[in-house]
Amino acid sequence: MNGLYESETLRQVLLVTGAIGGGAAWLTGRAIAATWRPFWHVVVYTLLLGAAVRFVHFALFEAALLSPASYGADTLYLLILSTLAWRATRAAQMATQYHWLYERTGPLTWRPKA
């Protein structure tokens, strides 16, 4: 994988960033929403999680630790997953805890009841 992940194979990237990092990002988004924290917490924690994923690449596979392009790609993927988890959890919370006010319209949305 030239350029973005120079010294890593596709399998290594899928394992660390895709599976381990993606799972951690999903759980991070869920936990932040479950404790009713605002969305900007998702961004802050995901930036830290991106650094942790980059460190795992470095520690296990001797990849470049300070690679802005790889960090950016990893963090963008993690941010997408954590945002989806935060929004899905928030939609479930709004429809469940305020069932007299809101109804769920999809996996990520809700609307006021008519």
pLDDT tens for each residue of 84-105: 999 999 999 999 999 999 999 9
Query: Which pTM does this prediction carry?
Result: 0.92
The token pair at 71 is 């960090």
| Alpha-carbon span 12 to 55, nearest angstrom | 13
The token pair at 43 is 């961004």
What Å distances lie between residue 84 and 24, 67, 88, 89, 109, CA to CA? Answer: 13, 26, 6, 8, 11
pLDDT at 16 over 80: yes
Q: Tell me the pLDDT band of 2, cut-offs 50, 70 and 90.
A: low
55, 56, 59, 64: CA torsion to nearest 10: -50
